[in-house]
Amino acid sequence: MPTMANITVKKNDGTTDQIWTAVQASGGDKSPAIWRNLSVGPAASFMPEMKMTSRPNGDGSVRRIEGSIDWKQYATGSDGINRRVNVGLFKFEVVVPQGMTVTDLNEFASQTSNLVGAALFKQCIKDGFAPQ
């Protein structure tokens, strides 16, 4: 079982590190682990956040990992109050068969994660379109 930890990723410039701080470890199945990028936003309710939960299916043959990453855009009104104006949302669900070999599971985990981090995948999100 993984241990909760901060996650360091690169900003859009490809060189600057951003730390997603471990805010809350999961208390077990169905309890979310939560990370926040504390360097973005004027208050916790405006900070980008990732949540992840895990749980087994009925017979224990599969584990599901589900989560979301939200990126909140805020604006300060003429009254000086910050308001959320947009939210970018990335949802994910991973089905992990418990009967899969370790070799296949390792390749599935690594290649899937690398696909999401691939330049083409990032560009699709930036443009809002699937490749044509």
- For 20-38, write each residue's pLDDT tens digit: 999 999 999 999 999 999 9
Boundaries of every domain in the chain: 7-99, 100-132
Per-residue pLDDT tens for 83-107?
Answer: 999 999 999 999 999 999 999 999 9
Give me the numbers of helices (H) and strands (E) for the chain, helices first please.
2, 6
Do the beta carbons of residue 68 and residue 55 sit within 8 Å?
no
Longest dimension (CA), the chain: 59
- In which residue are the tokens 């370790």 written? 102
The residue among 74, 52, 54, 59 whose CA lies nearest residue 7 is 52
Q: Residue 54: is it exposed, middle or buried by C-beta count within 10 angstroms (0-12/13-18/19+)? A: buried
Res. 1 pLDDT band, cuts 50 70 90: confident
* Listed residue (35, 34, 41, 30) closest to 19, CA to CA: 35
pTM, two decimal places:
0.91
CATH superfamily name and code, 7-99: MS2 Viral Coat Protein (3.30.380.10)
* Torsion from C-alpha of 39, 48, 32, 113, nearest 10 degrees: -100
pLDDT digit string (tens) for 25-75?
Answer: 999 999 999 999 999 989 999 999 999 999 999 999 999 999 999 999 999
